Amino acid sequence: MTVRHPRGGHGESRDLAVNPVFSREPLRVPRYAMPDGEMEPATAYQVVHDELMLDGNARQNLATFVSTWAEPEALRLMDECAEKNMIDKDEYPQTAELETRCVHMLARLWHAPDPRDAVGCSTTGSSEAAMLGGLALKRRWQHRRRAEGKPTDRPNLVMGVNVQICWEKFADYFEVEPRYVPMEGDRYHLTPETAVELCDENTIGVVAVLGSTFDGSYEPVAGIAAALDDLHRRTGLDIPIHVDAASGGMIAPFLDPDLKWDFRLPRVASVNTSGHKYGLVMPGVGWALWRDRDALPDSLVFHVNYLGGDMPTFALNFSRPGAQVVAQYYNFLRLGFDGYRRVQRTCRDVATRLAAEIARLGPFELLTDGGDIPVFAFRVREDIDRFSVFDVSAALRERGWLVPAYTFPKNRTDLAVLRIVVRNGFSHDLADLLLDDLRRVLPRLDKQHEPHRDADDAGGFAHGAETKNPLRPGRD
Ligand SMILES: Cc1ncc(COP(=O)(O)O)c(C=O)c1O
Protein backbone atom coordinates (compact mmCIF):
# COMPACT_ATOMS: atom_id res chain seq x y z
CA MET A 1 0.00 0.00 0.00
CA THR A 2 1.24 3.47 -0.75
CA VAL A 3 0.61 6.38 1.57
CA ARG A 4 -1.86 8.68 -0.06
CA HIS A 5 -2.32 12.36 0.72
CA PRO A 6 -5.94 12.63 -0.24
CA ARG A 7 -6.09 16.36 -0.66
CA GLY A 8 -3.00 17.18 -2.71
CA GLY A 9 -2.19 20.86 -3.30
CA HIS A 10 -1.00 23.24 -0.62
CA GLY A 11 -3.11 21.62 2.13
CA GLU A 12 -0.71 18.71 1.94
CA SER A 13 2.29 20.63 3.21
CA ARG A 14 0.61 23.03 5.64
CA ASP A 15 0.66 21.99 9.31
CA LEU A 16 -2.58 21.61 11.23
CA ALA A 17 -3.75 24.87 12.76
CA VAL A 18 -4.19 24.79 16.55
CA ASN A 19 -6.48 27.20 18.36
CA PRO A 20 -4.17 29.80 20.03
CA VAL A 21 -5.91 29.46 23.42
CA PHE A 22 -4.05 26.19 23.87
CA SER A 23 -0.53 27.53 23.69
CA ARG A 24 1.43 30.76 24.02
CA GLU A 25 3.82 29.65 21.33
CA PRO A 26 2.37 28.70 17.96
CA LEU A 27 2.10 24.93 18.18
CA ARG A 28 3.17 23.06 15.08
CA VAL A 29 1.23 19.89 14.37
CA PRO A 30 2.42 18.16 11.21
CA ARG A 31 -0.37 16.72 9.15
CA TYR A 32 1.18 13.52 7.86
CA ALA A 33 4.17 12.98 10.16
CA MET A 34 4.24 12.07 13.83
CA PRO A 35 5.02 15.24 15.88
CA ASP A 36 8.50 15.33 17.43
CA GLY A 37 7.25 16.06 20.91
CA GLU A 38 4.22 15.81 23.17
CA MET A 39 1.26 18.06 23.68
CA GLU A 40 -1.37 18.35 26.41
CA PRO A 41 -4.23 15.83 26.19
CA ALA A 42 -6.78 18.65 25.97
CA THR A 43 -4.95 20.16 23.00
CA ALA A 44 -4.67 16.86 21.18
CA TYR A 45 -8.33 16.17 21.90
CA GLN A 46 -9.43 19.52 20.51
CA VAL A 47 -7.33 19.14 17.35
CA VAL A 48 -8.85 15.74 16.62
CA HIS A 49 -12.34 16.81 17.66
CA ASP A 50 -12.29 19.86 15.40
CA GLU A 51 -11.09 17.88 12.43
CA LEU A 52 -13.87 15.29 12.86
CA MET A 53 -16.51 18.00 12.90
CA LEU A 54 -16.29 17.96 9.12
CA ASP A 55 -17.44 14.35 8.91
CA GLY A 56 -21.05 15.42 8.51
CA ASN A 57 -24.11 14.58 10.52
CA ALA A 58 -24.47 10.81 10.82
CA ARG A 59 -28.22 10.99 11.48
CA GLN A 60 -28.72 12.62 8.06
CA ASN A 61 -26.71 9.89 6.39
CA LEU A 62 -29.32 7.88 4.52
CA ALA A 63 -26.65 5.95 2.64
CA THR A 64 -25.37 3.73 5.41
CA PHE A 65 -27.01 0.61 6.80
CA VAL A 66 -24.94 0.87 9.96
CA SER A 67 -26.24 2.19 13.30
CA THR A 68 -25.77 5.87 13.95
CA TRP A 69 -27.66 6.01 17.22
CA ALA A 70 -27.58 3.96 20.41
CA GLU A 71 -28.97 4.34 23.89
CA PRO A 72 -26.72 5.99 26.49
CA GLU A 73 -26.75 2.76 28.53
CA ALA A 74 -25.42 0.78 25.56
CA LEU A 75 -22.72 3.41 25.02
CA ARG A 76 -21.85 3.31 28.72
CA LEU A 77 -21.43 -0.46 28.63
CA MET A 78 -19.24 -0.13 25.53
CA ASP A 79 -17.14 2.42 27.35
CA GLU A 80 -16.81 0.13 30.35
CA CYS A 81 -15.71 -2.70 28.06
CA ALA A 82 -13.21 -0.72 26.01
CA GLU A 83 -10.31 -2.89 27.14
CA LYS A 84 -11.96 -6.27 26.55
CA ASN A 85 -10.46 -8.33 23.79
CA MET A 86 -12.95 -10.79 22.36
CA ILE A 87 -10.27 -13.40 21.75
CA ASP A 88 -9.20 -13.53 25.41
CA LYS A 89 -12.01 -15.84 26.35
CA ASP A 90 -10.15 -17.22 29.36
CA GLU A 91 -9.40 -13.75 30.71
CA TYR A 92 -12.89 -12.41 30.01
CA PRO A 93 -15.10 -15.47 30.43
CA GLN A 94 -18.27 -13.46 30.99
CA THR A 95 -17.82 -11.54 27.75
CA ALA A 96 -17.38 -14.92 26.05
CA GLU A 97 -20.51 -16.17 27.82
CA LEU A 98 -22.50 -13.19 26.51
CA GLU A 99 -21.30 -14.01 22.99
CA THR A 100 -22.51 -17.61 23.43
CA ARG A 101 -25.89 -16.39 24.68
CA CYS A 102 -26.26 -14.13 21.64
CA VAL A 103 -25.46 -17.05 19.32
CA HIS A 104 -28.14 -19.15 21.05
CA MET A 105 -30.68 -16.36 20.81
CA LEU A 106 -30.00 -15.94 17.09
CA ALA A 107 -30.18 -19.72 16.55
CA ARG A 108 -33.67 -19.67 18.08
CA LEU A 109 -34.68 -16.54 16.19
CA TRP A 110 -33.63 -18.22 12.92
CA HIS A 111 -35.25 -21.56 13.80
CA ALA A 112 -32.22 -23.83 13.99
CA PRO A 113 -33.57 -27.40 14.24
CA ASP A 114 -31.77 -27.83 17.57
CA PRO A 115 -30.54 -24.44 18.81
CA ARG A 116 -28.14 -26.17 21.21
CA ASP A 117 -26.49 -27.90 18.26
CA ALA A 118 -26.18 -24.77 16.10
CA VAL A 119 -22.71 -23.26 16.01
CA GLY A 120 -21.79 -19.66 15.50
CA CYS A 121 -19.60 -16.75 16.44
CA SER A 122 -19.42 -13.01 16.45
CA THR A 123 -17.35 -11.27 13.78
CA THR A 124 -16.34 -7.73 12.92
CA GLY A 125 -19.33 -7.43 10.61
CA SER A 126 -21.19 -9.23 7.85
CA SER A 127 -18.16 -9.16 5.58
CA GLU A 128 -16.07 -11.33 7.88
CA ALA A 129 -19.12 -13.49 8.57
CA ALA A 130 -19.63 -13.94 4.81
CA MET A 131 -15.98 -14.98 4.39
CA LEU A 132 -16.44 -17.61 7.11
CA GLY A 133 -19.70 -18.83 5.58
CA GLY A 134 -18.06 -19.06 2.15
CA LEU A 135 -15.02 -20.85 3.54
CA ALA A 136 -17.20 -23.46 5.23
CA LEU A 137 -19.04 -24.06 1.95
CA LYS A 138 -15.73 -24.43 0.11
CA ARG A 139 -14.23 -26.79 2.65
CA ARG A 140 -17.35 -29.00 2.76
CA TRP A 141 -17.34 -29.23 -1.02
CA GLN A 142 -13.62 -30.10 -1.04
CA HIS A 143 -14.12 -32.86 1.55
CA ARG A 144 -16.98 -34.36 -0.44
CA ARG A 145 -15.12 -34.19 -3.75
CA ARG A 146 -11.97 -35.73 -2.29
CA ALA A 147 -13.98 -38.55 -0.76
CA GLU A 148 -15.40 -39.21 -4.23
CA GLY A 149 -11.90 -39.08 -5.79
CA LYS A 150 -12.83 -36.00 -7.86
CA PRO A 151 -10.79 -32.85 -8.53
CA THR A 152 -11.18 -29.81 -6.27
CA ASP A 153 -9.38 -27.19 -8.31
CA ARG A 154 -12.34 -25.30 -9.79
CA PRO A 155 -14.85 -24.35 -7.10
CA ASN A 156 -17.54 -21.80 -8.00
CA LEU A 157 -20.15 -19.84 -6.06
CA VAL A 158 -23.49 -18.83 -7.58
CA MET A 159 -25.08 -15.50 -6.65
CA GLY A 160 -26.89 -12.50 -8.05
CA VAL A 161 -24.78 -9.67 -9.45
CA ASN A 162 -26.46 -7.56 -6.74
CA VAL A 163 -24.48 -9.22 -3.93
CA GLN A 164 -22.55 -6.91 -1.66
CA ILE A 165 -18.85 -6.40 -2.42
CA CYS A 166 -17.84 -8.80 0.39
CA TRP A 167 -18.81 -11.75 -1.83
CA GLU A 168 -16.66 -10.49 -4.65
CA LYS A 169 -13.82 -10.23 -2.15
CA PHE A 170 -14.47 -13.72 -0.83
CA ALA A 171 -14.29 -15.15 -4.34
CA ASP A 172 -11.14 -13.22 -5.13
CA TYR A 173 -9.25 -13.80 -1.87
CA PHE A 174 -10.17 -17.46 -1.51
CA GLU A 175 -9.94 -18.41 -5.17
CA VAL A 176 -13.48 -19.38 -5.93
CA GLU A 177 -14.97 -18.57 -9.32
CA PRO A 178 -17.82 -16.11 -8.79
CA ARG A 179 -20.82 -16.89 -11.00
CA TYR A 180 -22.98 -13.80 -11.06
CA VAL A 181 -26.51 -13.88 -12.39
CA PRO A 182 -26.93 -10.54 -14.17
CA MET A 183 -29.97 -8.31 -13.75
CA GLU A 184 -32.48 -8.43 -16.58
CA GLY A 185 -35.35 -6.00 -17.26
CA ASP A 186 -37.25 -5.49 -14.01
CA ARG A 187 -35.47 -8.39 -12.28
CA TYR A 188 -32.94 -6.88 -9.92
CA HIS A 189 -31.95 -9.95 -7.93
CA LEU A 190 -31.50 -13.71 -7.97
CA THR A 191 -34.39 -16.01 -8.86
CA PRO A 192 -34.73 -19.78 -8.48
CA GLU A 193 -34.40 -20.52 -12.21
CA THR A 194 -31.45 -18.23 -12.82
CA ALA A 195 -29.60 -19.62 -9.80
CA VAL A 196 -30.03 -23.25 -10.79
CA GLU A 197 -29.00 -22.57 -14.37
CA LEU A 198 -25.47 -21.65 -13.24
CA CYS A 199 -24.97 -24.58 -10.84
CA ASP A 200 -22.82 -27.58 -11.64
CA GLU A 201 -20.75 -30.19 -9.80
CA ASN A 202 -18.18 -27.54 -8.85
CA THR A 203 -20.70 -25.24 -7.17
CA ILE A 204 -19.86 -24.93 -3.47
CA GLY A 205 -23.09 -23.12 -2.71
CA VAL A 206 -25.62 -20.47 -3.66
CA VAL A 207 -25.72 -17.14 -1.84
CA ALA A 208 -29.21 -15.73 -1.34
CA VAL A 209 -29.51 -12.20 -0.02
CA LEU A 210 -32.21 -11.19 2.44
CA GLY A 211 -32.29 -7.51 1.74
CA SER A 212 -30.42 -6.63 -1.43
CA THR A 213 -27.96 -3.79 -0.93
CA PHE A 214 -29.04 -2.25 -4.23
CA ASP A 215 -32.76 -1.91 -3.60
CA GLY A 216 -33.66 -3.51 -0.25
CA SER A 217 -35.64 -6.38 -1.79
CA TYR A 218 -35.67 -9.88 -0.30
CA GLU A 219 -34.42 -12.59 -2.62
CA PRO A 220 -36.80 -15.58 -2.77
CA VAL A 221 -34.81 -17.89 -0.51
CA ALA A 222 -37.54 -20.55 -0.21
CA GLY A 223 -38.00 -20.61 -3.99
CA ILE A 224 -34.26 -20.95 -4.53
CA ALA A 225 -34.18 -23.77 -1.97
CA ALA A 226 -37.06 -25.55 -3.73
CA ALA A 227 -35.32 -25.23 -7.11
CA LEU A 228 -32.12 -26.66 -5.62
CA ASP A 229 -34.13 -29.50 -4.04
CA ASP A 230 -35.47 -30.24 -7.50
CA LEU A 231 -31.97 -30.09 -8.99
CA HIS A 232 -30.85 -32.56 -6.33
CA ARG A 233 -33.67 -34.95 -7.23
CA ARG A 234 -32.98 -34.68 -10.95
CA THR A 235 -29.19 -34.75 -11.01
CA GLY A 236 -27.86 -35.74 -7.57
CA LEU A 237 -26.18 -32.33 -7.18
CA ASP A 238 -26.71 -31.36 -3.54
CA ILE A 239 -25.93 -27.65 -3.24
CA PRO A 240 -26.30 -25.77 0.05
CA ILE A 241 -27.44 -22.17 0.52
CA HIS A 242 -25.78 -19.45 2.56
CA VAL A 243 -28.19 -16.63 3.37
CA ASP A 244 -26.59 -13.21 3.51
CA ALA A 245 -29.09 -11.69 5.91
CA ALA A 246 -26.86 -8.71 6.76
CA SER A 247 -29.95 -6.55 7.14
CA GLY A 248 -32.92 -8.90 6.77
CA GLY A 249 -31.76 -11.30 9.50
CA MET A 250 -32.83 -8.75 12.08
CA ILE A 251 -35.94 -7.56 10.22
CA ALA A 252 -37.76 -10.62 8.85
CA PRO A 253 -37.98 -12.57 12.16
CA PHE A 254 -39.86 -9.65 13.74
CA LEU A 255 -41.94 -8.32 10.87
CA ASP A 256 -42.36 -11.29 8.51
CA PRO A 257 -42.51 -14.29 10.84
CA ASP A 258 -44.20 -16.48 8.22
CA LEU A 259 -41.55 -15.87 5.58
CA LYS A 260 -39.41 -19.00 5.37
CA TRP A 261 -35.85 -17.95 4.64
CA ASP A 262 -33.88 -19.35 7.56
CA PHE A 263 -32.95 -22.73 9.08
CA ARG A 264 -36.57 -23.85 8.61
CA LEU A 265 -35.37 -24.57 5.07
CA PRO A 266 -33.16 -27.67 5.35
CA ARG A 267 -31.04 -26.42 2.44
CA VAL A 268 -29.92 -23.35 4.37
CA ALA A 269 -26.55 -24.29 5.83
CA SER A 270 -25.48 -20.93 7.24
CA VAL A 271 -26.63 -17.37 7.80
CA ASN A 272 -24.87 -14.10 8.52
CA THR A 273 -26.19 -10.83 9.85
CA SER A 274 -24.73 -7.49 10.90
CA GLY A 275 -25.25 -6.75 14.57
CA HIS A 276 -24.35 -3.18 13.68
CA LYS A 277 -27.17 -2.79 11.16
CA TYR A 278 -30.68 -3.71 12.27
CA GLY A 279 -29.17 -5.49 15.28
CA LEU A 280 -28.94 -1.87 16.47
CA VAL A 281 -25.35 -1.96 17.79
CA MET A 282 -22.75 0.68 16.93
CA PRO A 283 -20.10 -0.61 14.47
CA GLY A 284 -18.65 -3.22 14.27
CA VAL A 285 -20.16 -6.55 15.05
CA GLY A 286 -21.56 -9.31 12.87
CA TRP A 287 -22.73 -12.85 13.38
CA ALA A 288 -22.22 -16.11 11.49
CA LEU A 289 -24.27 -19.19 12.33
CA TRP A 290 -24.33 -22.73 10.94
CA ARG A 291 -27.42 -24.91 11.22
CA ASP A 292 -25.50 -27.71 13.00
CA ARG A 293 -22.02 -29.00 13.60
CA ASP A 294 -21.95 -30.86 10.26
CA ALA A 295 -22.32 -27.58 8.37
CA LEU A 296 -19.07 -26.18 9.81
CA PRO A 297 -16.18 -28.56 9.07
CA ASP A 298 -14.05 -29.09 12.15
CA SER A 299 -10.94 -28.73 9.98
CA LEU A 300 -11.61 -24.98 9.86
CA VAL A 301 -11.69 -24.56 13.62
CA PHE A 302 -8.41 -23.63 15.29
CA HIS A 303 -7.70 -24.64 18.85
CA VAL A 304 -5.59 -21.99 20.54
CA ASN A 305 -4.17 -22.78 23.95
CA TYR A 306 -1.47 -20.27 24.73
CA LEU A 307 -3.74 -17.84 26.51
CA GLY A 308 -4.36 -20.38 29.22
CA GLY A 309 -6.94 -22.91 28.05
CA ASP A 310 -8.26 -24.69 24.98
CA MET A 311 -10.07 -22.13 22.90
CA PRO A 312 -11.76 -23.13 19.64
CA THR A 313 -11.88 -20.22 17.21
CA PHE A 314 -13.10 -19.69 13.69
CA ALA A 315 -12.33 -16.12 12.69
CA LEU A 316 -10.14 -14.13 10.36
CA ASN A 317 -8.98 -11.76 13.10
CA PHE A 318 -7.31 -12.70 16.35
CA SER A 319 -7.80 -9.62 18.57
CA ARG A 320 -11.12 -7.84 18.27
CA PRO A 321 -13.08 -5.52 20.55
CA GLY A 322 -15.53 -7.20 22.94
CA ALA A 323 -17.58 -4.05 23.61
CA GLN A 324 -19.88 -4.47 20.60
CA VAL A 325 -20.75 -8.03 21.60
CA VAL A 326 -21.64 -6.78 25.06
CA ALA A 327 -23.79 -4.06 23.48
CA GLN A 328 -25.52 -6.67 21.32
CA TYR A 329 -26.40 -8.68 24.40
CA TYR A 330 -27.62 -5.49 26.08
CA ASN A 331 -29.94 -4.78 23.14
CA PHE A 332 -31.33 -8.32 23.13
CA LEU A 333 -31.98 -8.07 26.85
CA ARG A 334 -33.27 -4.52 26.82
CA LEU A 335 -35.65 -4.77 23.86
CA GLY A 336 -36.62 -8.42 23.78
CA PHE A 337 -38.67 -9.72 20.86
CA ASP A 338 -41.45 -7.17 21.26
CA GLY A 339 -39.05 -4.25 21.51
CA TYR A 340 -37.20 -5.25 18.34
CA ARG A 341 -40.53 -5.71 16.58
CA ARG A 342 -41.63 -2.21 17.56
CA VAL A 343 -38.35 -0.61 16.46
CA GLN A 344 -38.28 -2.44 13.12
CA ARG A 345 -42.00 -1.79 12.54
CA THR A 346 -41.37 1.92 12.98
CA CYS A 347 -38.48 1.81 10.49
CA ARG A 348 -40.66 0.00 7.96
CA ASP A 349 -43.56 2.42 8.51
CA VAL A 350 -41.26 5.41 7.97
CA ALA A 351 -39.71 3.80 4.88
CA THR A 352 -43.00 2.84 3.21
CA ARG A 353 -44.62 6.21 3.95
CA LEU A 354 -41.60 8.14 2.70
CA ALA A 355 -41.44 5.99 -0.44
CA ALA A 356 -45.13 6.59 -1.13
CA GLU A 357 -44.74 10.36 -0.63
CA ILE A 358 -41.73 10.45 -2.96
CA ALA A 359 -43.72 8.55 -5.59
CA ARG A 360 -46.48 11.17 -5.25
CA LEU A 361 -44.09 14.05 -6.01
CA GLY A 362 -44.31 13.26 -9.71
CA PRO A 363 -40.84 13.00 -11.24
CA PHE A 364 -39.90 9.77 -9.47
CA GLU A 365 -40.69 6.09 -9.92
CA LEU A 366 -40.16 3.53 -7.16
CA LEU A 367 -38.20 0.34 -7.77
CA THR A 368 -38.98 -0.86 -4.25
CA ASP A 369 -41.24 0.55 -1.55
CA GLY A 370 -39.41 -0.18 1.72
CA GLY A 371 -41.72 -3.11 2.49
CA ASP A 372 -38.95 -5.70 2.80
CA ILE A 373 -35.99 -4.26 4.67
CA PRO A 374 -36.75 -0.57 5.33
CA VAL A 375 -34.70 0.49 2.33
CA PHE A 376 -36.00 1.63 -1.02
CA ALA A 377 -34.64 2.71 -4.38
CA PHE A 378 -36.22 5.11 -6.83
CA ARG A 379 -35.37 6.59 -10.18
CA VAL A 380 -36.12 9.74 -12.13
CA ARG A 381 -38.94 8.97 -14.58
CA GLU A 382 -37.69 8.05 -18.02
CA ASP A 383 -39.43 10.98 -19.74
CA ILE A 384 -37.68 13.54 -17.53
CA ASP A 385 -34.52 14.76 -19.20
CA ARG A 386 -33.76 17.99 -17.31
CA PHE A 387 -32.09 16.44 -14.29
CA SER A 388 -30.59 13.16 -13.17
CA VAL A 389 -30.59 11.21 -9.91
CA PHE A 390 -27.07 12.57 -9.46
CA ASP A 391 -28.41 16.15 -9.56
CA VAL A 392 -31.01 15.24 -6.94
CA SER A 393 -28.36 13.68 -4.70
CA ALA A 394 -26.11 16.74 -4.99
CA ALA A 395 -29.01 19.14 -4.32
CA LEU A 396 -30.04 17.25 -1.17
CA ARG A 397 -26.47 17.34 0.00
CA GLU A 398 -26.69 21.13 0.19
CA ARG A 399 -28.97 20.60 3.18
CA GLY A 400 -26.79 17.89 4.70
CA TRP A 401 -28.76 14.86 3.46
CA LEU A 402 -26.62 12.02 2.16
CA VAL A 403 -28.73 10.13 -0.36
CA PRO A 404 -26.53 8.09 -2.68
CA ALA A 405 -27.15 7.88 -6.41
CA TYR A 406 -25.63 5.08 -8.45
CA THR A 407 -26.02 2.96 -11.53
CA PHE A 408 -27.03 -0.68 -11.44
CA PRO A 409 -24.74 -3.51 -12.55
CA LYS A 410 -24.94 -5.65 -15.68
CA ASN A 411 -27.37 -5.84 -17.58
CA ARG A 412 -28.98 -2.70 -16.18
CA THR A 413 -26.07 -0.27 -16.23
CA ASP A 414 -28.48 2.10 -17.99
CA LEU A 415 -30.49 2.39 -14.77
CA ALA A 416 -29.47 5.03 -12.21
CA VAL A 417 -31.23 5.23 -8.87
CA LEU A 418 -31.31 6.96 -5.51
CA ARG A 419 -31.48 4.83 -2.37
CA ILE A 420 -32.72 5.62 1.11
CA VAL A 421 -31.90 3.46 4.12
CA VAL A 422 -34.23 4.05 7.06
CA ARG A 423 -32.59 3.19 10.36
CA ASN A 424 -33.69 3.46 13.96
CA GLY A 425 -33.50 7.17 14.78
CA PHE A 426 -34.76 8.33 11.38
CA SER A 427 -38.22 9.37 12.48
CA HIS A 428 -41.38 10.38 10.61
CA ASP A 429 -40.44 13.96 11.50
CA LEU A 430 -37.01 13.69 9.91
CA ALA A 431 -38.62 12.04 6.88
CA ASP A 432 -40.93 15.08 6.59
CA LEU A 433 -37.93 17.42 6.72
CA LEU A 434 -36.27 15.44 3.94
CA LEU A 435 -39.47 15.60 1.89
CA ASP A 436 -39.68 19.38 2.40
CA ASP A 437 -36.13 19.75 1.13
CA LEU A 438 -36.85 17.51 -1.84
CA ARG A 439 -39.91 19.59 -2.70
CA ARG A 440 -37.82 22.74 -2.38
CA VAL A 441 -35.10 21.66 -4.81
CA LEU A 442 -37.31 20.14 -7.50
CA PRO A 443 -38.51 23.42 -9.13
CA ARG A 444 -34.88 24.53 -9.42
CA LEU A 445 -33.81 21.24 -10.96
CA ASP A 446 -36.75 21.43 -13.32
CA LYS A 447 -35.41 24.71 -14.70
CA GLN A 448 -32.21 23.04 -15.87
CA HIS A 449 -31.98 22.42 -19.60
CA GLU A 450 -30.17 19.15 -19.10
CA PRO A 451 -28.68 17.04 -16.29
CA HIS A 452 -25.61 18.66 -14.74
CA ARG A 453 -24.16 15.60 -13.08
CA ASP A 454 -23.66 12.01 -14.08
CA ALA A 455 -22.26 8.87 -12.43
CA ASP A 456 -18.70 10.19 -12.65
CA ASP A 457 -19.64 13.41 -10.90
CA ALA A 458 -22.08 12.25 -8.26
CA GLY A 459 -21.49 15.07 -5.79
CA GLY A 460 -18.78 13.32 -3.82
CA PHE A 461 -20.57 10.00 -3.46
CA ALA A 462 -18.59 6.87 -4.01
CA HIS A 463 -20.21 5.09 -1.12
CA GLY A 464 -18.23 1.89 -0.77
CA ALA A 465 -17.58 1.81 -4.49
CA GLU A 466 -14.76 -0.65 -4.64
CA THR A 467 -14.76 -3.32 -7.25
CA LYS A 468 -12.51 -5.15 -9.62
CA ASN A 469 -15.39 -6.64 -11.46
CA PRO A 470 -16.43 -4.98 -14.71
CA LEU A 471 -19.89 -6.57 -14.28
CA ARG A 472 -20.69 -4.50 -11.24
CA PRO A 473 -20.01 -0.94 -10.18
CA GLY A 474 -19.79 -2.02 -6.51
CA ARG A 475 -22.00 -0.65 -3.82
CA ASP A 476 -21.87 -0.09 -0.10
C1 LIG B 1 -26.33 -7.70 1.89
C2 LIG B 1 -25.07 -7.23 2.55
N3 LIG B 1 -24.09 -8.13 2.82
C4 LIG B 1 -22.94 -7.76 3.42
C5 LIG B 1 -22.72 -6.46 3.78
C6 LIG B 1 -21.41 -6.09 4.44
O7 LIG B 1 -21.68 -5.90 5.79
P8 LIG B 1 -20.66 -5.26 6.83
O9 LIG B 1 -20.64 -3.81 6.53
O10 LIG B 1 -21.32 -5.59 8.15
O11 LIG B 1 -19.34 -5.93 6.67
C12 LIG B 1 -23.70 -5.48 3.51
C13 LIG B 1 -23.48 -4.06 3.86
O14 LIG B 1 -24.24 -3.20 3.54
C15 LIG B 1 -24.91 -5.89 2.90
O16 LIG B 1 -25.89 -5.00 2.63
Ligand 1 centroid to Cα of residue 452, in Å, is: 31
Give the DSSP per-residue string, 199-251. --TTEEEEEEEBS-TTT-PBP-HHHHHHHHHHHHHHH-----EEEE-TTGGGT
For position 57, what pLDDT does the model report?
84
Alpha carbon distance 423, 279 (integer Å): 11
Ligand 1 centroid to Cα of residue 127, in Å, is: 6
Which ligand 1 atom minimizes the distance to the CA of 276?
Answer: 10
For position 463, what pLDDT does the model report?
41
- φ/ψ of 92, rounded to 5, equals -125, 65
Question: What dihedral angle (degrees, nearest 10) is formed by the CA atoms of 404, 406, 408, 413?
Answer: 170
Alpha carbon distance 409, 90 (integer Å): 46
Which ligand 1 atom minimizes the distance to the CA of 286?
Answer: 10
Question: What dihedral angle (degrees, nearest 10) is formed by the CA atoms of 136, 138, 143, 144?
Answer: 110
For position 21, what pLDDT does the model report?
81
Which ligand 1 atom minimizes the distance to the CA of 66?
Answer: 9
For position 289, what pLDDT does the model report?
97
Mutate to test the pocket of ligand 1, among 62, 64, 65, 475 (most ligand atoms within 8 A of CB): 65
- Check: CB of residue 404 under 8 Å from CB of residue 461: yes
**pTM given for the model:** 0.92
- φ/ψ of 442, rounded to 5, equals -60, -45
Looking at 164-207, list the stretches that DSSP marks H as alpha helix, in order from N- to C-terminal side.
165-173, 192-197
For position 54, what pLDDT does the model report?
85
Tell me 79's DSSP state: H
Question: What dihedral angle (degrees, nearest 10) is formed by the CA atoms of 337, 341, 344, 348?
Answer: 160
Angle at 266 between CA 263 and CA 272, to 5 degrees: 35
SS3 371: coil
- The amino acid occupying position 300 is L
Ligand 1 centroid to Cα of residue 240, in Å, is: 21
How many angstroms separate the first and last alpha carbons of the chain? 22
Strand order in the sheet with 203-209: 119-123, 286-290, 268-274, 241-244, 203-209, 156-160, 177-181
All domains of the chain, ordered by start, with CATH?
Answer: 3-54 (no CATH), 74-331 (3.40.640.10), 345-461 (3.90.1150.160)
Ligand 1 centroid to Cα of residue 391, in Å, is: 27
Ligand 1 site residues, Cβ closer than 6 angstroms: 65, 125-127, 130, 164, 166, 209, 211, 213, 244, 246-247, 274, 286, 476
Residues of the chain with pLDDT under 70: 1-13, 24-26, 305-311, 457-476
For position 201, what pLDDT does the model report?
98
Mutate to test the pocket of ligand 1, among 250, 274, 285 (most ligand atoms within 8 A of CB): 274
For position 462, what pLDDT does the model report?
42
Q: Residue whose CA is closest, atom 16 of ligand 1?
A: 213
Which ligand 1 atom minimizes the distance to the CA of 163?
Answer: 1
Question: pLDDT digit string (tens) for 357-386?
Answer: 999 999 999 999 999 999 999 999 999 999
For position 27, what pLDDT does the model report?
78
Cβ neighbors of 357 (< 8 A, separation 6 or more) are 431, 435
Mutate to test the pocket of ligand 1, among 61, 127, 328 (most ligand atoms within 8 A of CB): 127
